[in-house]
Structure 1
Amino acid sequence: MELYDQDKPVANKTKSFILMLLAIIIFIFSIDLLTVAMGQLNNSVASEILRATQNPFVSLFIGLLMTALIQSSSTVTSSIVAIVAAGNMTLEQAVPMVMGANIGTTLTSTLVSFSYIMKKNQFRRAISAGILHDIFNIITVFILLPLEFYFRFLSNLAHKIASLFVTNESFSGSFDYNKVFTRPLTEWISDTIQIPFVTLVIAIFFVFGAIKILSSSVYKAFVIDSFQDINNFIFKKTYLAFTYGMFFTAAVQSSTVTTSLVVPLVANKKVSLKKSFPFIIGANIGTTITAAIAAFYKTEAAIALAIVHFLINFFGALIFLPFPALRSLPIKLASYMGRKTVKTRFIGFAYILLTFFIIPFLLIYFSNS
């Protein structure tokens, strides 16, 4: 019996590892299916997508709203990569949407903080930790969106970096992407269904499912044990916390998983809000690995968008991480929101509804009207 108990963790890790490999295969398959479906959409649907994303602010809020609704920026960004790879959206149109997805993904950690709503002091610390991730991403977008809008800062830089990986391929027009090993199956499924929109919806569900399985399996196999001594080791130094946040998130394919782990630690005073911030910054960079996997086709456009996703979070880290004075700004704003929300619970609910749902929906609706 004792031997069985000792072998059980090993068996669980092996099972999680097998699930992880299976999830990666399903993910590649689903992205390929999504790309095939997008390539088969008729011209009117493609033109609607292009028209909707021509306004960068509409594109931003579409990304935000989509991510807030399905609670997975990895699903949204990898889907955007597939749409760009299929030629139904330009890189420049996709950049604001990825920025919006970066903001939308922070909703989960904020919602986790509401589990402490009945405990005043814990709730104040928890909501501050949840909102900290929001504020960091919102400020980063406020800085980078104008640079992208006026100077194409991110897209031009991504173009240049992507050209180092793929040569002799144009950014304009349709893209001849390399066929991956799943292509015969995805083409057969698409031809069997014969309704590209239905295939598209099925592919998105597969993307979402694959990321959830991957997140859960890697978390159980590698992360959960490492978090036992988290407050004794990981958060000791700024750059150590940043590095762990980046690698943990890259492993579980979800910044929402790792940042949601931080909320209870801050709520229970295991980690200070100040020390948790570098970990959150690192988690933002780690989550970009999903778009990199989605760019598996090696088209210049898909690789460029994956690079854009990385650059958004990289420059966000570069702005705040090296400078303690700048790093304290989001922390002070988050602490202020925490104090106000504890005094009036309505502020917290209003913040979530307005930021993630009402404002994006209204702006999209009126812009299209």
Structure 2
Amino acid sequence: MEGNTKQKQLSVLQFILSISIALFAFLWSLDLMTSTFHVIGNETVIKILSITSNPFISLFIGLFITAVIQSSSTSTSLIVAVVASGGMTLENAVPMIMGANIGTTLTSTIVSLSYITNNKEFKNAIATGVMHDFFNIMTVMILFPLEYYYHLLSKLSTSIASVFNLSTIPTKTGQVTSSGLFDFINSFLIDAIDYEIILVLIAGASLFASIKIISKIISKRMIGTSEERFQEVFFKHKLNSFGLGAMLTAGIQSSSITTSIIVPLGATGKIHLSKIFPYIVGANIGTTITALIAAFNKSEAAVSIALVHFLFNLIGTLIFLFIPYLKQLPIQYARKFGLMTMQYKVVGFFYILFVFFILPLALIFLNRL
């Protein structure tokens, strides 16, 4: 008995140590990236702004990048770092955040294609997978015009950051702040490495790896192998489902993982789409925690863009989870798409290629001509 207790204590200590190291690497990589973008200088900043000044292109850049790296947590953290360095304005970054929310849905959609050999399960799996897509796409369709014409999200997030003084170190626009914790390491690396692109690659690799490590450690600890208990306890009520999606994703820091693990349950029909939808919406809220952590001790603009990520998902939640008619739309269209894909299986593959790759790349390419 005593041996089991010691083993559990050791397991908890290992868990805390692993998470602490991964979190340290995450915060350091963000700080290094912010410092590096600041060092790169105005010429590169102008090039970045020339691409992202078009809000439509910015939207699809965010979509494409997130679809490729399959982590909205990573892409939004990168956007926070660029905004904190002064390399991008808040208004130009908002559409990119919206695109990142769509791009992160690719994983669950791809997972759903693995059920292609069983028509009934394939229909349910596709419906479960694309429901996340449709929720984010519909939210973008509502909020993108409001941001484009009235700057709704950027103004709202700036007001909240200003009123509550969420930026602990006030800065001028484009000025980078540092917590001081990583100053020595970053100064050494910037002085020792002459090529800024190498510094960006180091920071990017560390950022991506740290998020993946945190995701793997926490998902193994929180989810475990008890799938039956997992569904019985948490999917009885809408709020339970929503809370599970939010808390699980906040811990794992990957909505791609938390929405993908629900696909098998949806495919087999053990959980209906109406119960899965609040879980997916909750996952969208939970994934915003990373950007808020990334913005800690950065400029007010960085805090504002992190709040944009949260507000985008919060407003989408309020619209599609509580308004009577609208809350059925993502579920209804997901079901229809699942039925169509069951009849014409090529539709699912074409949808993925077109929405996540062909359309974004085509628009980005045409904009550069």
TM-score when scaled to structure 1? 0.95
CA RMSD of aligned residues (A): 1.9
Match for 2:280: what amino acid? I
How far, CA to CA, are the matches of 2:226 and 2:190 in structure 1? 42
| Structure 2 residue aligned with 1:31 | 30
CA distance 1:168–1:130, shift in 2 (3 Å):
closer
How far, CA to CA, are the matches of 1:167 and 1:25 in structure 2? 19
1:14-63, CA deviations, whole angstroms, 9 ceiling, x for partnerless residues? 43332111110000010011101101113221111011110000000000
How far, CA to CA, are the matches of 2:340 and 2:89 in structure 1? 42
| Structure 1 residue aligned with 2:202 | 202
| Structure 1 residue aligned with 2:79 | 80
CA distance 1:223–1:10, shift in 2 (3 Å):
farther
CA distance 1:155–1:45, shift in 2 (3 Å):
same
**Unpaired segments ≥5 residues, structure 1:** none
| Structure 1 residue aligned with 2:342 | 342
Between stretches 123-132 and 42-51, larger displacement belongs to 42-51
Work out whether residues 249 and 287 of structure 1, in 8 Å CA contact, stay in contact via their aligned partners in 2: yes
Match for 1:349: what amino acid? F
1:145-176, CA deviations, whole angstroms, 9 ceiling, x for partnerless residues? 1100100100001111111224894663x224
Identity of aligned residues (%): 45
How far, CA to CA, are the matches of 2:252 and 2:323 in structure 1? 28
* Cα distance, 1:4 vs structure 2: 6.6
Match for 2:136: what amino acid? N
How far, CA to CA, are the matches of 1:161 and 1:247 in structure 2? 23
* Cα distance, 1:199 vs structure 2: 0.7
Work out whether residues 16 and 220 of structure 1, in 8 Å CA contact, stay in contact via their aligned partners in 2: no
How far, CA to CA, are the matches of 1:7 and 1:259 in structure 2? 35
| Structure 2 residue aligned with 1:279 | 279
**Unpaired segments ≥5 residues, structure 2:** none
Match for 1:55: what amino acid? N
* Cα distance, 1:368 vs structure 2: 1.7
| Structure 2 residue aligned with 1:17 | 16
Map 1:53-132; keep pairs closer than 5 Å. Answer: 53-132=52-131
Match for 1:142: what amino acid? M
Work out whether residues 86 and 176 of structure 2, in 8 Å CA contact, stay in contact via their aligned partners in 1: no
1:331-363, CA deviations, whole angstroms, 9 ceiling, x for partnerless residues? 111111111111111100000000000000001
Map 1:184-203; keep pairs closer than 5 Å. Answer: 184-203=184-203
Work out whether residues 169 and 177 of structure 2, in 8 Å CA contact, stay in contact via their aligned partners in 1: no
* Cα distance, 1:224 vs structure 2: 2.6
**Is 1:135 the counterpart of 2:134 in the alignment?**
yes
Match for 2:140: what amino acid? V
* Cα distance, 1:221 vs structure 2: 2.1
Map 1:161-180; keep pairs closer than 5 Å. Answer: 161-163=160-162, 164-165=164-165, 166=167, 169=170, 172=173, 174-180=174-180
Match for 1:108: what amino acid? T
How far, CA to CA, are the matches of 1:303 and 1:185 in structure 2? 24
How far, CA to CA, are the matches of 1:147 and 1:4 in structure 2? 60
Between stretches 42-51 and 304-313, larger displacement belongs to 42-51
Work out whether residues 255 and 287 of structure 1, in 8 Å CA contact, stay in contact via their aligned partners in 2: yes
* Cα distance, 1:180 vs structure 2: 3.5
| Structure 1 residue aligned with 2:312 | 312
CA distance 1:15–1:228, shift in 2 (3 Å):
farther
Q: Following TM superposition, where does structure 1 have runs of at least 4 consecutive aligned residues deviating by more than 6 angstroms?
A: 2-7
Work out whether residues 169 and 298 of structure 2, in 8 Å CA contact, stay in contact via their aligned partners in 1: no
Map 1:246-265; keep pairs closer than 5 Å. Answer: 246-265=246-265
Work out whether residues 64 and 102 of structure 1, in 8 Å CA contact, stay in contact via their aligned partners in 2: yes
